[in-house]
Amino acid sequence: MDLKLLNEPFEIKGKIIVTRVQEKWQYRFQENKETYWMSFPDEDYQIEDIDAKGFALGAYNNGELIGLAIFQNSWNRFLYLSDLKVKKDFRRKGVSKALINKGFEIAYQQKYKGLYTIAQDNNIVACQFYLKQGFAIGGFNNRDYQYTQQEGKADVYFYLDKLD
């Protein structure tokens, strides 16, 4: 399987504000005055490493890799979606949804109850996508980036335990 899909920029246009009130997660979106584009560093995925921890799924268009999802086994009853990316020209065309659906199908075959993933709170496009796909907020961590170059960011944990 081809694992060389470069990370392309994505829009940073705000932040998801997550709170927990009376045992329920709540959220709202806060728009930035200005938007900018960000890109994660490229990974050097090796199939042996991926296979040892889980599996990868690719989406192709005329033989070209246009989408990649990396899933990792987890100690809990949810399979971890550790990476999901789609080439910019193919975004908003159902590629990510198809990769998630196939990963969910495999997760069920492997006796998992669902999927979970993490998105940074300033990546509201990703947060909105996961919520639209039926994921629910299941956690929030505002300490992971403390004392790093990304200080001020937080991680939002999303869980999917059924498909519509």
Q: Quote the pLDDT of residue 119.
A: 97
- Residue 35's identity, in one-letter code, is T
**What percent of the chain clears pLDDT 70, i.e. is strictly above it?**
98
pTM assigned to the model: 0.93
Mean pLDDT of 98-106: 96
- Residue 135's identity, in one-letter code, is F
Q: Does domain 10-160 have CATH number 3.40.630.30?
A: yes
Question: For 108-145, how does the pLDDT look when each residue is reduced to its tens digit (9 = 90+)?
Answer: 999 999 999 999 999 999 999 999 999 999 999 999 99
